[in-house]
Amino acid sequence: MQNGSKALIEVRGLKKYFPIQEGLLRRVVGHVRAVDDVSFDIPAGKTLGLVGESGCGKTTLGRCIVRAMEPTAGEVILRVNDQEFDLTKLSAKELRAVRPHIQMVFQDPYLSLSPRKTVLNIVGEPLYINKVAEGRALEQRVRDLMDLVGLDVKYLNRYPHAFSGGQRQRIGIARAISLNPELIICDEPVSALDVSVQAQILNLLQDLQREFNLTYLFIAHDLSVVEHISDRVAVMYVGKLIEIGDTEELFQKPRHPYTEALLSAIPRPDLSRPMKEVTLEGEVPSPANPPSGCYFHPRCPYAKDICKHEAPPLVDMGNNHFSACHFAKELDLQGVGE
Amino acid sequence: MMNDVLLEIKNLRTYFKLHEGILKAIDGVSLAIGRNRVLGIVGESGCGKSVTARSILKLVPAPGKIEGEIWFHGGEKPVNLAALPPTGNAIRDIRGREIAMIFQEPMAAFSPVHTIGDQISEAIQTHQSLPKPEARGRTIEMLKQVGIPIPERRVDNYPHQMSGGMLQRAMIAMALSLRPKLLIADEPTTALDVTIQAQILRLMKRLQAELGMSIIFITHDLGVIANMADDVAVMYLGRVVEYGTVRQIFENPQHPYTQALMQSIPKLGSKGRGRLASIEGTVPVPLDPPRRCGFADRCVHFIPGRCDADVPPLIDTEAGHQVRCILYE
C-alpha cells in the first residue's frame, strides 16, 4: 500500500470471525465479523492512529496482531533485524522468540497490573522470563526504566494500589518498553486518565518514540488525541477499514462520509465553533448482522441506490489516501478546519 | 436577581470522617443556578463535582456529612435542602419531582429485572396518583419525546435489550417524566460514543428549551461544557476555583488551573505535533487538607508564603466572574 519494503509491520487481509453458536449441539449459525479484511502498514518510527466507535473491532484488531487472539485469516508481517516474520504462521515456540519485539499498553491501569506484585516484579517480569537479566542487574534495569518513564525509584517495592492512574500507566509503559520492543500497541492508553494527566502520558509516549525509534499502533476513540499523536490515521466501521490517510489530510479533507460525521460530532472547547448540525442519526449496526452493501448506508446522508447493493472497495484517492466510498471522488466533505 | 435563582448553595461542606482522617470532598462551595440556565461544573476526578450533585439531593453515602445551606426556590416557599433529613418525606417529594438526576452509567442506573416501561411508570406513580394504563401512556409519550423509535414496543424492553445510547435516552425520559424544575446530569455522555454523545447533547438542549428547566451539567470534558453551559464553575479539590459565564471562562480564563487545563488538551485542527503543556503532578486527595490553595503544589505561579498561607478568597475580577487566586488581589 505504501512503499511496502520499508514498513516495520504489514497487516494483510486480517480477519477475525467469531462463530455464533445455537442450540444444544452448538451449531454454528453465523459469524460476527469483528475484523473483516483489514490491511495497512506502519513504517518504523511512525504512529498509526486507529479510530472508530465502540464495537467497531479496533481492540480485536490490536489483539490479533500480537496474537493474543488467533486471527481467522490474513498475514501480519513484522520486519526486525533484517528478518521477516509472518506472526500468524509462527508456532507457539517461534512466537515466543518474536514477542519481545511487540508489546502492549492497555486502557485500564487498574486492571492491567497485578495487585499482588510490586513495581519491581511487574516491570522486571518480562526481563526475567526472557532471561535478559536477573538479580542485581535486573533491579538496576528496572530502576533505569522507572527513571525513563518518570517514576520515582524509591517506589520500587510498592504495590500498584499505592499509585494514581497516571503513575500506573507509567508502570504499564515501563513494562512495555523493558525488552526494547520495536512496535507498541497502545489500546486506549489515555482514555481512563484525567485531562491534566493525559497530557503527561502523551508527552511521555512521544519522548520515548523519539528516543528509541518506537513504532506505535495507537488505538483510541478520542479524535483530538489521535490527531495529536499520529502520522497516519485509519478509521474503522463495523470491522472494516473505511478510510486511511495522513493525519493532516484526513482531518482537513476526509474522503468518507463516516469520517466527516465523526469529526463533526466532536464537541470542541471553542465558542466560535459550536457543534454542527451534520451529525449521525441511528447507531452502529451489529457486526453479526450488518446491513447490505456499504455498511454505513443506513446512516449516510449521501447514500444512493448503489450503496444498498454494492460494498465499496478501499480505493486510492492519491497521496496515499484511501477511502471505501462509492462517491469518495465526487463528495466535498468537511474537515475540522483551521 | 433573587427571583431568577432556582437553587442557591451557600458554603456547602461535605466531609467524610474516615479512620485515616477527615476527607473534605467539598470544602466551602457557594453557587447559584438561575432559572432556565445551564450551569456546567467542570473538573477532574476527585474535585468534588459529583459529591456536590449528590449533596443537593441528600444522596451522599455514609459516613458523609453535609453542612451549609442549599436553598431551593422551586416551590412557594424556599426550602433549605441541607437541613432536611435524608430519608424523610420532604426530600423524597423533591427528589424526582422537583429535582431529577441522570447518571453516567445508564446500565447501572436501571434495574436489570424490570422493563424500562415499568421502571419509568413506577417513578411517575410514586409521585402522582395515576392509574396504571395512564402512567404507561405517559411513559410511551416520554420515550417518544426523547427520540426512541417505536416507543410502544420499546416500553416493554429490558435494559439489556437496549444500546447504551438508547438506555441513556430512556433515563432522560424517566428523569423528565415528572417535569422537574432542575435536572442534574452527572457525566451523562461520558460512557457514550462521540456520535451518540452528539445526539444526546442535542436532545438535552432541545428538551431544556421546550420544558423550560435548569440543568446542572457535570463533566470533565471542556468541549461538552463549551457547547452546553451558560455559566461555568471550575472545581478543584473540593472548591470552586473559578466561576463565570461560558464566554468569560473560555475567552478569558483567569485561574492558573483553568488556564493549564485548557492548554493541556490537544486541539483539533492544530497542525503542530509538539509537546502538550501538561500540568505536573496529580490531583491530591483532600484528606485533612492544609489551609492553603489546593492547586499550589502544581501551580506555575506559586508564591511561597502567600499561596500556602491560607485558602485564597473568591475575588471578583469583572461582573459575574470570580477567581479564587491571590494573583488577582
Q: Which pLDDT belongs to residue A3?
A: 45
Structurally, chain A folds into a number of domains equal to: 1
Contact assignment for B275 to A167 by CB distance below 8 Å: no
Contact assignment for A196 to B278 by CB distance below 8 Å: yes
C-alpha torsion sign, points A76, A80, A84, A87:
negative
Better pLDDT: A24 or B116 = B116
Q: What is the ipTM of this complex?
A: 0.85
Q: How far is A265 from chain B (nearest CA, A)?
A: 5
The set of cell numbers assigned to B204 is 438535552
Contact assignment for B198 to A279 by CB distance below 8 Å: yes
Residue whose cell numbers read 449521501: A302
A274 domain residue, yes or no? no
Question: For residue range A100-119, what is the model confidence (pLDDT) as tens digits?
Answer: 999 999 988 888 999 999 99
What SS3 state is found at A199?
Answer: helix
Contact assignment for A275 to B270 by CB distance below 8 Å: no
- Cα–Cα distance for residue pair A308/A317, rounded to 1 Å: 22
Q: Average model confidence (pLDDT) for chain A?
A: 91
**Residues in chain B within 8 Å Cβ distance of A190:** none
Q: How far is A227 from chain B (nearest CA, A)?
A: 7
A150 domain residue, yes or no? yes
Stretch A288-315: mean pLDDT, rounded? 94
pLDDT tens track of chain B, all 329 residues? 446 899 999 999 999 999 989 999 999 999 999 999 999 999 988 899 999 999 999 999 889 999 999 999 988 899 999 999 989 999 999 998 999 999 888 888 899 999 999 999 999 999 988 999 999 999 999 999 898 889 999 999 999 998 888 899 999 999 999 999 999 999 998 888 888 899 899 999 999 999 999 999 999 999 999 999 999 999 999 999 999 999 999 999 999 999 999 999 888 887 666 788 888 888 888 888 889 999 999 999 999 999 999 999 999 999 999 999 999 98
Contact assignment for B266 to A202 by CB distance below 8 Å: yes
Stretch A145-167: mean pLDDT, rounded? 91
What SS3 state is found at B171?
Answer: helix
Which of B201, B278, B295, B298 is the best residue to mutate to test the A interface, defined by the most A CB atoms within 10 Å of its own CB? Answer: B278
Q: How many other C-beta atoms can be found within 10 angstroms of the C-beta atom of residue A140?
A: 11
Is residue A228 within 8 A of residue B263, CB to CB? The reply is: no
pTM flag (> 0.80)? yes
- Cα–Cα distance for residue pair B38/B203, rounded to 1 Å: 14
Residue whose cell numbers read 448482522: A289
Is residue B34 within 8 A of residue B229, CB to CB? The reply is: no
What DSSP string runs through B5-68?
A: EEEEEEEEEEEEEETTEEEEEEEEEEEEEETT-EEEEE--TTSSHHHHHHHHTT-PPTTEEEEE
- In angstroms, the Cα distances linking A241 to A22, A258, A328, B101 are 29, 11, 14, 39
pLDDT at A208 over 50: yes
pLDDT at A1 over 70: no
SS3 content of chain B, % helix, strand, coil (to 5): 35, 25, 40
Is residue A259 within 8 A of residue A265, CB to CB? The reply is: no
* Radius of gyration of chain A, Cα coordinates, nearest whole angstrom: 21
Strands (E), A25-177: 27-43, 47-51, 73-80, 83-86, 102-105
pLDDT at A4 over 80: no
Q: Return the number of CB contacts < 8 Å for A and B.
A: 136
A53 domain residue, yes or no? yes
- Cα–Cα distance for residue pair A235/A324, rounded to 1 Å: 10
- Cα–Cα distance for residue pair B15/B287, rounded to 1 Å: 10
**Residues in chain B within 8 Å Cβ distance of A284:** 193
A287 domain residue, yes or no? no
A166 domain residue, yes or no? yes
**Residues in chain B within 8 Å Cβ distance of A288:** none
Is residue A323 within 8 A of residue A255, CB to CB? The reply is: yes
pLDDT at A141 over 60: yes
A201 domain residue, yes or no? yes
Q: How far is B224 from chain A (nearest CA, A)?
A: 5
DSSP code of A330? Answer: T
Q: How far is A37 from chain B (nearest CA, A)?
A: 24
B71 residue type, one letter: W
Residue whose cell numbers read 438506555: B167
CA angle A7, A10, A14 (to 5 degrees): 165
Q: How far is B27 from chain A (nearest CA, A)?
A: 21
B319 residue type, one letter: A
**Residues in chain A within 8 Å Cβ distance of B261:** 195-196
pLDDT at A5 over 60: no
User: Using omega within 30 degrees of 0 as the cis cutoff, is the peptide bond preceding B290 cis?
Assistant: no
Q: Which pLDDT belongs to residue B281?
A: 82
For residue B99, what are the β-bridge partners? B95, B182
CA angle B88, B94, B95 (to 5 degrees): 85
Contact assignment for A228 to B273 by CB distance below 8 Å: yes
Of A167, A199, A223, the CB nearest to B278: A199
Distance of CA B302 to the CA centre of its chain: 29
Contact assignment for B194 to A54 by CB distance below 8 Å: no
Nearest to A225 by CA among A249, A252, A198: A198
Domain that holds residue A90: 4-230
- In angstroms, the Cα distances linking A139 to A122, A125, A135, A147, A153 are 11, 11, 6, 12, 10
Of B194, B246, B277, the CB nearest to A262: B194
A127 domain residue, yes or no? yes
A308 domain residue, yes or no? no
**Residues in chain A within 8 Å Cβ distance of B247:** 271
Is residue B123 within 8 A of residue B177, CB to CB? The reply is: yes
Assign residue A201 the CATH number of its domain. Answer: 3.40.50.300
Nearest to A65 by CA among A123, A117, A104: A104
DSSP code of A246? Answer: E
- Cα–Cα distance for residue pair A160/A169, rounded to 1 Å: 10
**Residues in chain A within 8 Å Cβ distance of B198:** 264-265, 267, 275, 279-280
Q: How far is B309 from chain A (nearest CA, A)?
A: 25
- Cα–Cα distance for residue pair A75/A39, rounded to 1 Å: 9
- Cα–Cα distance for residue pair B307/B290, rounded to 1 Å: 11
Stretch A295-300: mean pLDDT, rounded? 94
Q: Which long-range contacts (CB under 8 A, 24 or more apart) does B305-312 make?
A: B311/B28, B311/B239
- Cα–Cα distance for residue pair B39/B231, rounded to 1 Å: 5
- Cα–Cα distance for residue pair A223/B223, rounded to 1 Å: 12
Is residue B49 within 8 A of residue B235, CB to CB? The reply is: yes
Phi then psi dihedrals of residue A61, to 5 deg = -60, -45
Contact assignment for A248 to B271 by CB distance below 8 Å: yes
Name A285's Cβ contacts closer than 8 Å, sequence gap at least 6. A238, A291, A295, A298
